[in-house]
């Protein structure tokens, strides 16, 4: 959805719609959209500035980084953005510190789809986990630990303590 900045009415523009994106557009390579992204937003123009404020919701499927099982990740986010005309981009030296976080629109147009996709991608965790307690996969047999305990004996020794352990053995 392309917004023509010159055609934004004085009272603002209300947007309530679903956006469909390709899974390839997501920053997480194993993520998939389970449903379209729903957006409720208001677009206002104050002089040359364009304010976009709204909420979005979506459902995305991730693959857990520990157990490699797909899980559903609900996306709920609010956003409040200010866009300036591209001419202001050339005058960055003159902008104050409050203006640094602002973005710019080009050719008097803003692609709302790009804005929403960026906001969705910003909600993603750095390391997708199905739960904080996920035990991952057994290093010996490959069983997913949350599905039950396996009979494997895994003795993990901390290599940093090996010298201390050897020292204590020599003392005995």
Residue whose pair of structure tokens reads 């203006």 in the numeric block: 99
pLDDT, averaged across the chain: 83
d(CA 99, CA 31): 33
Pair 143, 111 in one domain? no
Neighbours of 18 (CB within 10 A): 11
CA-to-CA dists, residue 172 to 24, 26, 167, 168, 169, angstroms = 61, 59, 9, 7, 5
Asked whether the predicted pLDDT for residue 23 surpasses 80, the reply is yes
Domain count, the chain: 2
Q: Residue 21 belongs to what domain range?
A: 2-133
Pair 51, 79 in one domain? yes
Pair 65, 23 in one domain? yes
Mark residue 69 as left, alpha or beta (left: phi above 0; alpha: psi -120 to 50; beta: remaining): beta
Pair 12, 78 in one domain? yes
Question: Which of the given ranges, 54-58, 96-100, 119-123, 160-164, has the highest pLDDT on average?
Answer: 54-58
Pair 83, 123 in one domain? yes
Q: Looking at per-residue confidence, does 131 or 154 come out higher?
A: 131
Q: Looking at per-residue confidence, does 169 or 97 come out higher?
A: 169
Pair 104, 124 in one domain? yes
Pair 77, 144 in one domain? no
pLDDT (tens digit, 9 = 90+) per residue, 40-75? 999 998 888 888 999 999 999 999 999 999 999 999
The answer to whether 81 touches 115, Cβ cutoff 8 Å, is: yes
Pair 141, 129 in one domain? no
Token output for 45: 């123009």
Pair 150, 82 in one domain? no
Pair 95, 19 in one domain? yes
Pair 9, 41 in one domain? yes
d(CA 59, CA 75): 6
Token output for 77: 């986010």
Pair 59, 93 in one domain? yes
């Amino acid at each position: 959805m392309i917004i023509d900045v010159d055609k934004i009415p004085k009272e603002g523009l209300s947007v309530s719609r679903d956006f469909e994106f390709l899974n390839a557009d997501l920053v997480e390579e194993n993520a998939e959209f389970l449903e379209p992204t729903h957006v409720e937003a208001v677009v206002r123009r104050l002089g040359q500035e364009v304010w976009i404020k709204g909420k979005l919701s979506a459902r995305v499927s991730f693959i857990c980084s520990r157990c490699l099982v797909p899980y559903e990740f609900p996306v709920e986010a609010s956003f409040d953005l200010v866009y300036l005309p591209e001419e202001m981009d050339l005058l960055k030296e003159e902008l104050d510190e409050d203006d640094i976080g602002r973005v710019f629109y080009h050719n008097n147009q803003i692609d709302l789809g790009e804005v929403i996709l960026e906001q969705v991608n910003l909600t993603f965790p750095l390391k997708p986990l199905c739960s904080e307690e996920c035990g991952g996969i057994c290093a010996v047999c490959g069983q997913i630990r949350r599905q039950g305990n396996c009979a494997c004996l895994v003795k993990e020794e901390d290599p940093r303590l090996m010298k201390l352990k050897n020292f204590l053995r020599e003392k005995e």
